[in-house]
A and B are shown apart, each in its own frame.
Chain A
């Protein structure tokens, strides 16, 4: 079986959850499944300053791996509202030829950002018999606010989209255009055989939005099992002082709530017996006001906070070994963040916001602690408790569940691919056929 994995970025160029997962899945399939994966990662000026278009040559190699490709698209030519490129030749010529050359049995989309939702249609058209799967990493199809489902005014959580509500968030975009946006995206999603939702919350959101439940698969992302040669580095469990070292791992964007965390540390004041390390990337992509705010907060909390900057994935084990608690203060729903898996893999309990994908993965009082999303005082209280209660850490650490490892996950995903291929080869009344309409809930 040949599997094409399509992603909106390559983690080597720009780290990120969906991008990291795409590469992990690709490597798992390549090294351990006996199937042939191909990775096509979109690249362009917004992903890396160095990436530039070579006219007539939008597809190129990233490494010496013959099955990993970069696909250049120009964000200047991308309509972000509708999610489509203006230069159709990118898809109808180069991508299409690429597909026909590889003729994969399965095309598995991670995100079509910068590629256009119509890439799905070009795929279906070029490969009528291929199975098309799509993992739902965020809510971009539902929500124009970077797919976060957080409202523009006051960062309130959003539980329900509609042209009216979307227009409230973006007064410059008409209700009619939001209606068209949804109709347009759904017309392409109608061609996807199965959507993979990493958590129940994500699944329900998309069902409510209009994807039929029978076209959904609940399957959380697998995490790569650490190689035997690199055993976990663990802090001694006893006799090494209080468990008061907190770590933030992730992108430094407003949605990830790093500001909430810094405010909590500020609330705790100088007599707080604990310290926070911030391991974060992509600050350069954040808005200037947000960068300024972070700078101020870091200045105010510098006694208690170390800004450690960007990290590479191989460093993660060591960084986590020096951390007691992983904090995930996201103000958006998350879709099942990789950070939870990484923390659990290294036996670290997680302190997280009480919403969405992360609150589903982390059980309050079992393997982590919840706090009220966006509430720095509540988070401060939780941090104080975590740092002070000597027994709590060990108790929660013991509650960490078995992880969903990438090998298991890959088996499930392969099983899905096979099932979809069967469905496609014998379209019966219940089988999804090309272009079966999505019905809004």
Chain B
């Protein structure tokens, strides 16, 4: 017979039962049975033997009981199966044992050892998240209260004269299970061995081994010496919880040194707004100075990747409006993402208006700043009646960035060929679309095709892209052939295969683009996904071509905040290198240059040809 000591409702539909439930092994199934019916419920069990450090612990069960099952239970029993044993608890037994939460904590759990109480609190937090229905705010708050009742309160550092200290400077929520912490740990006496993050709900995550450590001279000053750890006092850490955490406040960091001295500090309120989080991860003051591979691979990339995946999941089209008479079977679809500078469409339409190609092409503007939808639609209506170029306005539900916006635009496109075009690009001449198309269709195994891109002073912004690695760096950066030379520079006027092309203007077969899944959203803020696409095209056996006969002006930096971009750019370069290192180094070897820089530029022969 199970020995139920106490039962309580943590929240309306989650019951916690303390008692020796006579279960052997893992809990496999929980049923509520009554009125001749049986229904399965989710439940988690913490067996006495799973808790170390206190013999007095008898066992703990949490069970999710939504309203209907609660009614069923009232007339019957709860049946638990573990291995070959089955235990039933009668409803009456549960009713008799019912107490309020604080009483259960005080009488049943508080007398246990601190270690056992921590384990119980951790169990409740992780178990509750696994229950059907997830972790509602209400349950979070209940668990926070439970944690408060069970937790061992450790010493907190005060003032500047302590032997040791710690702080969480910033705590970022990547998602409800993933967190990113910045802080420091200093100890005059001994090495800190254990560092534990405790969620408000009570889940405990051991960070000691995971922490990325770095020097914090400001912390040395505070403690009057270099901290014992050779790795530095500062830390950065991405970590994941088993169960989601919802509460913005209540995070703790506990430390323990090799002498057993323990300390706890409270973390500041969690930062959860995605843009702030991404910016904080990317702009962290440590990795601005140098990119550490461990920091990047273990902490920054997993965190940013999860953030970018969230963004990708948000990609959805809210509406598509057509302006003017769209061509019935366009060969080419031109996809232009718009972010903030919606005014730029007027200048593009002014340039497209008299180009006959645009009567036959499908022009798709993708609005990636959805709050501007009404303004854009009003503007589009006015411009449509002036310029008469048919176009579509595709509004996204959320701001999801260049790559996802391009993919969304491509998903509504019907042309056989896709042109990705930035909103700050203006063609030098009419007819550029059919010139691109003619070259594309006339070239075997072509992947992507890019034109010559110019600055406003007629110098070259890019004539195809390559990758180079600055001496002393292990990261490959994208670079543009013939950048800043005059558009007439002979060597830049030769059509040729190139390793990469800019997404500012790029033609690719839509089928191919879709086969490869389009641009990848893992890069931050529109950068490197173009090179990534080109490398994937090359991997698929295609060749990427540069076509100098077609010229467009790329009025770069009109639509971006360049400070934020700089951080994103460093991140993207590292990630791109990380994903493609073998292929990139193979390319560099083929070109016979360790830095990969200028090796593949056709110089003398091309300029002699004077093309």
A-side residues, CB < 8 A to B, are: 82, 84, 87-89, 91-92, 118, 121-122, 125, 162-164, 174-180, 183-184, 187-188, 190-191, 434-437
User: Would you mind naming 15 contact pairs between A and B with Cβ atoms under 8 Å apart?
Assistant: A87-B382, A88-B383, A121-B353, A121-B387, A125-B388, A162-B457, A175-B457, A176-B424, A180-B426, A183-B347, A183-B553, A187-B351, A191-B354, A435-B353, A436-B354
Are A88 and B353 in touch, CB under 8 angstroms?
Answer: no
Partner of B555, one of A84, A164, A179, A436: A179
Residues of B within 8 A of A435 (CB): 353-354
In contact, B457 and A184 (Cβ under 8 angstroms):
no
User: Which A residues are CB-close (under 8 A) to B430?
Assistant: 437
Complex Cα distance, B557 from A84, in Å, reads: 23
A91 to B383, CA, bound (A): 11
Chain A residues positioned under 8 Å from B269 (CB to CB) = none
- Chain B residue contacts of A437, Cβ below 8 A: 354, 429-430
Question: Could you tell me how many residues of chain B have their Cβ less than 8 Å away from some Cβ of chain A?
Answer: 23
Residues of B within 8 A of A121 (CB): 350, 353, 386-387
Complex: A121 Cα to B383 Cα, angstroms: 11
A-chain residues with CB within 8 Å of residue B557 when the two chains form the complex: 176
CB–CB B457/A163 < 8 A: yes
Q: Which residues of B contact A (CB under 8 A)?
A: 346-347, 350-351, 353-354, 382-383, 385-388, 424, 426, 429-430, 456-457, 553, 555-558
7 A-B pairs with least C-beta separation: A435-B354, A88-B382, A179-B456, A176-B555, A187-B350, A92-B385, A163-B456
Flag if B351 contacts A183 (CB, 8 Å). Answer: yes
Known A179-B456, A180-B347, A190-B354; 18 more pairs at CB < 8 Å: A87-B382, A88-B382, A88-B385, A92-B382, A121-B350, A121-B353, A125-B388, A163-B457, A176-B558, A178-B456, A179-B555, A180-B555, A183-B347, A184-B346, A184-B347, A187-B351, A434-B354, A437-B429
**Nearest CB of chain A from residue B387's CB, rounded to whole Å:** 7
B553 to chain A, nearest CB (A): 7
A436 to chain B, nearest CB (A): 8
A178 to B455, CA, bound (A): 12
Contact A125 B354 (CB under 8 A): no
Q: How far is the CA of A175 from the CA of B556 in the complex (A)?
A: 11
Nearest residue, chain B, Cβ from A90: B382
Smallest CB gap from B426: residue in A: A183
> Which residues of A lie under 8 Å from residue B350 when comparing CB positions?
118, 121, 183-184, 187-188
Q: Which residue of B lies closest to A79 (CB)?
A: B343
* A119, closest chain B residue (CB): B386
Taken together as a complex, chains A and B put the C-alpha atoms of A437 and B385 apart, in Å, by 21
Asked if B386 and A122 make an inter-chain contact with CB atoms under 8 angstroms apart, the answer reads: yes
By beta carbon, the residue of chain A nearest B356 is A435
Question: What is the chain A residue whose CB lies nearest that of B427?
Answer: A183
- Residues of chain B contacted by A82 (CB below 8 angstroms): 347
Q: Which chain A residues border B353 with CB–CB below 8 Å? A: 121, 187, 435
Q: A125 to chain B: which residues have CB within 8 Å? A: 386, 388
Chain A contacts for B558, CB-based, 8 A: 174, 176-177
Give the docked Cα–Cα distance between A434 and B556 (Å): 30
Contact partner of B553 (CB less than 8 A), chosen from A84, A89, A179, is A179
Least Cβ distance of A257 to chain B in Å?
33
Residue in A closest to B388 when the chains form the complex, CB atoms: A125
CA distance A184 to B346 in the complex (A): 9
CB pair B457 A164 closer than 8 Å: yes
CB of A179, distance to nearest CB on chain B (Å)? 4
Q: Closest CB-CB distance, A219 to chain B, in whole Å?
A: 27
What's the Cα separation between A162 and B457 when bound, in Å?
Answer: 8
Q: How far is the CB of A188 from chain B (nearest CB, A)?
A: 7
Residues of B within 8 A of A183 (CB): 347, 350-351, 426, 553
- Alpha-carbon distance between A84 and B553 when the two chains are bound, in angstroms: 22
- Per the bound structure, the CA–CA distance linking A91 and B382 in Å amounts to 9
Nearest Cβ on chain B to A175's Cβ, whole angstroms: 5
Residues of A close to B553: CB separation below 8 A: 179, 183
Q: Which residue of B lies closest to A85 (CB)?
A: B382
Complex Cα spacing A84 to B345, Å = 14
